[in-house]
């Protein structure tokens, strides 16, 4: 039977002895506490080496391998030197390997868990290898070594700083690096460390270190990485409401043993001193035993809270007035100067959103970060001006621990629509355009259903005409693809006919048999449209003549800034103009107002929230070509996490059932005298400006005439259709 003795500086009241089988051999394991007396520890180790097969030394500072430098602890070396007959170890090698394996395991099993976490190492030198592994997932690492050992108030903020500190620590400390934390804490050190713990998401340290600086206030909701967690230690973590404890040392026996004990047992089984056992040998044994870290949930419920950031900005001078104490009567020339100054302001946190809870149990929290530029100011400068402010916002988000950042309103269309920002940012970026596209049509479909002015044909398609203005854009193109699957006729409108024709060809490949038309003279077609989606970047330019729109038409304005200002909307009370994209969150969320009803957010923000809840920290939607597959995917993910279509809102706020009923009443009355677009105008609008064959135009004229003349009139008087075709042909001079 192999005999292993562990001498620890801990209390002798916790001594134990047990027998077990390990690596195919029988073992007797005994713990002996020295009650913080190094002299007693030295004597215990000297005496028991005569009967033990290996000796472990616990709860003492170890030698550190930091970068390319090894820092030797003289007291530890003195104690281990007394053992000359059998292998002796502090467990440093095994601890290093188990720590790295624990980080990799948790990152994989819990889904990118450490991505951009704020991680505090109470001793970076002792946990250097773990810090290197953690740096693969986050740059937000801080180390308390300098504070604990020298009283320096600042934390070390990078691996490079830690390595530099380690290089000079022996000279500065006179060979005292890494002494027990509780022996060096005093006054402001305690306070400073407690504050650092409170700000961190993850804290790494021994139980003694954590207990010295942790309490119920600053440990609540935290993740702790430590070792050898027994019932007493777990009770402390439960009292402090710790969210997750990652115990890097596995519980292989009836008693919880330290890593030094486990390494001593391996050395005894191999009958080799520690210097003759390589990392590969230890790794092979760990793999053979299938050793994994213990994931403990002290409160009984694990909360995997993801973090995001989202960029907002003022859409006009009125928004600036609302955000700052500026009198409403301020002259315009003064506000013009304020608007220019606001564009140069550094980003700032507008508010925090928390308590976002999905039906799946996933949770998210995030920050709305404001940049000061209005669309007018952004357009008046080069894209680089806005890029730099967005990258400053991304850096701010990263420092707060955000794992993904979304671009809102006009920031997602500036320049190359997020491509450059995503390339330069150290955290993933998404524009939210995928969810904006699905949210736009979601709202439009609900509005048309509630109005009841259209019906579905026998094939399930909506027997109505719809138009997408700005169809070649990112949201517009995806909207057109969706509409082609559900509406009888779809008109693609924009400024460049060749781009519209390319989109049409692509849609017809996806949806054969769809009736799709292209036009650049879309104002002539407005009188026949039952639904219109506007998705342009006109920035204040007149996009459509609302006076030509068919009564009862649903206009879904997804452009930011809006294509239809309030004064234009007011001209047509018989038309329903909705600002689509509002999504209702699945739980009651704490946040400041963003100009929407409580618990309602824009779809682009909802995309960022959904990705956070799903743990999808990736560049999801950027550029001007929104992918159809991603639109479907984010819609399904939104449903999975409890996202709902919010109450339909217009320029004056939420539409009630009474508001919609009033629009329907006015629309029905107006339709009694409404004249649709003439066949001639329709043919002109959809005909190409380039020369076309007579047969092509004739065919178009006949098709248009057949649809613009009432079916009953054609049935009773065939001459009516012939006259309509003739009139259309004359209009285009065929």
- Average pLDDT on 401-417 reads 91
DSSP per-residue codes, 568-591: HHTT-TTSEEE---EEE-SS--B-
Per-residue confidence (pLDDT) for residue 433, from 0 to 100: 87
Residue-wise pLDDT for 272-310, tens only, equals 988 899 999 999 999 999 999 999 999 999 999 999 999
Structure tokens at 453: 């002015």
pLDDT band per the 50, 70, 90 thresholds, residue 343: very high
Domains of the chain: 2-92 (3.40.50.300), 97-255+287-296 (3.40.50), 457-580 (3.40.50.720), 679-731 (no CATH)
Decide if 366 contacts 352 (C-beta within 8 A).
yes
Give me the half-sphere count of Cα atoms (radius 13 Å) on the Cβ side of residue 384.
0
Per-residue confidence (pLDDT) for residue 32, from 0 to 100: 96
**Nearest-angstrom CA–CA distance, 39 and 173:** 22
Structure tokens at 274: 């520690």
Specify the length of the chain in residues.
734
Give percent above pLDDT 70 in the chain: 89
Q: Give CA angle at 537 (685, 326), nearest 5°.
A: 140
- pLDDT above 50 for 121: yes
CA dihedral of 35, 40, 45, 51, whole degrees rounded to 10? -90
DSSP per-residue codes, 318-376: HHHHHHTT--TT--HHHHHHHHHHHHTSPPEEEEEEEEEE-TTS-EEEEEEEE----HH
Residue-wise pLDDT for 460-486, tens only, equals 889 999 999 999 887 788 889 989 999
Per-residue confidence (pLDDT) for residue 581, from 0 to 100: 67
- pLDDT above 80 for 681: no
pLDDT band per the 50, 70, 90 thresholds, residue 184: very low
Decide if 39 contacts 10 (C-beta within 8 A).
no
DSSP per-residue codes, 630-649: HHHHHHHHHHHTT-EEPPPE
**Nearest-angstrom CA–CA distance, 88 and 529:** 85
CA proximity to 307, closest of 612, 642, 637, 634? 612
- pLDDT above 60 for 176: no
Per-residue confidence (pLDDT) for residue 181, from 0 to 100: 44
- Average pLDDT on 658-680 reads 90
Decide if 676 contacts 528 (C-beta within 8 A).
yes
DSSP structure class, residue 156 = B
pLDDT band per the 50, 70, 90 thresholds, residue 726: low
| SS3 state at 146 | helix
CA proximity to 248, closest of 235, 238, 263, 236? 263
Radius of gyration of the chain (CA): 35
pLDDT band per the 50, 70, 90 thresholds, residue 691: very low
CA proximity to 623, closest of 412, 387, 417, 390? 417
pLDDT band per the 50, 70, 90 thresholds, residue 721: low
Residue-wise pLDDT for 546-575, tens only, equals 999 999 999 998 776 667 888 899 999 999
Terminus-to-terminus CA distance in the chain, angstroms? 106
Give percent above pLDDT 90 in the chain: 63
Per-residue confidence (pLDDT) for residue 713, from 0 to 100: 46
Among the residue ranges 371-375, 621-625, 668-672, 701-705, the one predicted with the least confidence is 701-705
Per-residue confidence (pLDDT) for residue 699, from 0 to 100: 59
- Average pLDDT on 94-116 reads 95
Tokens 């215990």, residue located: 44
Higher pLDDT, 217 or 64: 217
- Average pLDDT on 35-51 reads 95
- Average pLDDT on 378-397 reads 94
Per-residue confidence (pLDDT) for residue 438, from 0 to 100: 82
Q: CA dist 406 to 253, 454, 554, 587, 696, Å?
A: 48, 36, 29, 20, 47
Q: Are strands 305-312 and 294-296 parallel, antiparallel or unpaired?
A: unpaired
Phi/psi for 671 (5° steps) reads -70, -20
Per-residue confidence (pLDDT) for residue 109, from 0 to 100: 94
Among the residue ranges 136-150, 356-370, 527-541, 714-728, the one predicted with the least confidence is 714-728
- Residues 6 or more apart whose CB falls under 8 angstroms from that of 713 comprise 720
**Nearest-angstrom CA–CA distance, 618 and 620:** 6
Phi-psi category of 733—alpha, beta or left, where left has phi over 0 and alpha has psi -120 to 50? left
Q: Work out the mean pLDDT of the chain and round it to a whole number.
A: 87
Decide if 29 contacts 265 (C-beta within 8 A).
yes
- pLDDT above 80 for 716: no
Per-residue confidence (pLDDT) for residue 410, from 0 to 100: 85
- Average pLDDT on 504-525 reads 94
- pLDDT above 50 for 80: yes
| SS3 state at 245 | strand
- pLDDT above 80 for 646: yes
- pLDDT above 70 for 182: no
């Amino acid at each position: 039977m192999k005999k292993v003795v562990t001498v620890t500086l801990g209390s002798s009241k916790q001594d134990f002895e047990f027998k077990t089988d390990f690596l195919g051999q029988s073992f007797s394991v005994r713990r002996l506490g020295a009650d913080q007396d190094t002299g007693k520890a030295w004597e215990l180790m000297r005496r028991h080496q005569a009967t033990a097969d290996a000796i472990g030394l616990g709860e003492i500072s170890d030698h550190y391998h930091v970068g390319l430098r090894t820092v030797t602890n003289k007291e530890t070396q003195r104690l281990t030197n007394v053992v000359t007959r059998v292998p002796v170890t502090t467990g440093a090698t095994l601890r290093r390997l188990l720590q790295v394996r624990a980080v990799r395991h948790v990152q994989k099993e819990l889904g990118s868990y450490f991505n951009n976490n704020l991680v505090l190492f109470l001793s970076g030198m002792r946990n250097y290898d773990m810090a290197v592994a953690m740096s693969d997932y986050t740059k937000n690492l801080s180390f308390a070594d300098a504070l604990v050992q020298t009283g320096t108030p600042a934390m070390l903020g990078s691996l490079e700083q830690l390595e530099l500190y380690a290089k000079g620590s022996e000279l500065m400390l006179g060979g005292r690096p890494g002494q027990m934390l509780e022996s060096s804490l005093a006054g402001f050190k305690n306070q400073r460390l407690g504050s650092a713990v409170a700000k961190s998401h993850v804290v790494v340290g021994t139980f003694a270190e954590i207990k010295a600086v942790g309490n119920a206030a600053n440990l609540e909701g935290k993740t702790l990485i430590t070792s050898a967690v027994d019932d007493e230690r777990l009770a402390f973590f439960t009292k402090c409401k710790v969210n997750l404890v990652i115990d890097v040392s596995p519980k292989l026996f009836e008693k919880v043993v330290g890593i030094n004990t486990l390494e001593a047992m391996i050395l005894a089984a191999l009958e080799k001193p520690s210097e003759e056992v390589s990392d590969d040998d230890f790794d092979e044994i760990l793999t053979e035993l299938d050793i994994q870290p213990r994931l403990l949930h002290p409160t009984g419920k694990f909360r995997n809270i993801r973090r995001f950031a989202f960029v907002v900005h003022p859409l006009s001078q009125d928004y600036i007035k609302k955000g700052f104490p500026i009198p409403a009567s301020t002259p315009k020339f003064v506000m013009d100067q304020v608007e220019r100054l606001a564009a140069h302001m550094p980003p700032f946190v507008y508010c925090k959103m928390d308590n976002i809870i999905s039906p799946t149990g996933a949770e998210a929290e995030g920050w709305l970060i404001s940049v000061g530029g209005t669309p007018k100011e952004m357009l008046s400068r080069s894209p680089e001006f806005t890029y730099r402010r967005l990258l400053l916002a991304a850096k701010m988000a990263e420092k707060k621990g955000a794992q993904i950042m979304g671009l809102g309103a006009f920031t997602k269309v500036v320049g190359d629509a997020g491509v450059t920002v995503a390339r330069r940012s150290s955290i993933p970026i998404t524009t939210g355009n995928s969810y904006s596209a699905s949210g736009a049509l979601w709202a439009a479909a609900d509005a048309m259903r509630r109005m009841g002015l259209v019906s579905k044909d026998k094939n399930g398609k909506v027997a109505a005409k719809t138009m997408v203005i700005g169809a070649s854009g990112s949201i517009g193109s995806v909207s057109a693809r969706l509409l082609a699957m559900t509406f009888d006729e779809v008109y693609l409108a924009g400024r460049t006919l060749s781009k519209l024709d390319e989109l049409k060809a692509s849609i017809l490949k996806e949806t054969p048999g769809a009736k799709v038309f292209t036009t650049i003279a879309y104002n002539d077609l407005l009188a026949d449209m039952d639904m219109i989606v506007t998705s342009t970047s006109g920035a204040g330019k007149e996009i459509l003549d609302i006076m030509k729109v068919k009564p009862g038409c649903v206009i879904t304005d997804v452009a930011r800034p809006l294509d239809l200002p309030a004064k234009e909307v007011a001209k047509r009370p018989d038309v329903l103009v909705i600002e689509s994209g509002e999504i209702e969150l699945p739980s009651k969320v704490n946040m400041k107002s963003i100009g929407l009803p409580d618990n309602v957010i824009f779809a682009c923000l909802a995309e960022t929230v959904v990705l956070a809840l799903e743990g999808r920290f990736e560049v999801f939607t950027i550029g001007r070509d929104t992918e159809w597959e991603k639109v479907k995917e984010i819609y399904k993910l939104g449903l999975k996490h409890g996202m709902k279509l919010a109450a339909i809102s217009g320029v004056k706020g939420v539409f009630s059932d009474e508001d919609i009923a009033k629009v329907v009443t006015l629309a029905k009355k107006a339709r009694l005298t409404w004249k649709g677009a003439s066949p001639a105008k329709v043919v002109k609008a959809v005909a190409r400006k380039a020369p076309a064959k007579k047969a092509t135009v004739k065919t178009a004229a006949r098709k248009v005439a057949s649809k613009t003349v009432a079916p009953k009139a054609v049935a009773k008087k065939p001459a009516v259709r012939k006259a309509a075709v003739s009139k259309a042909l004359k209009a285009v001079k065929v």
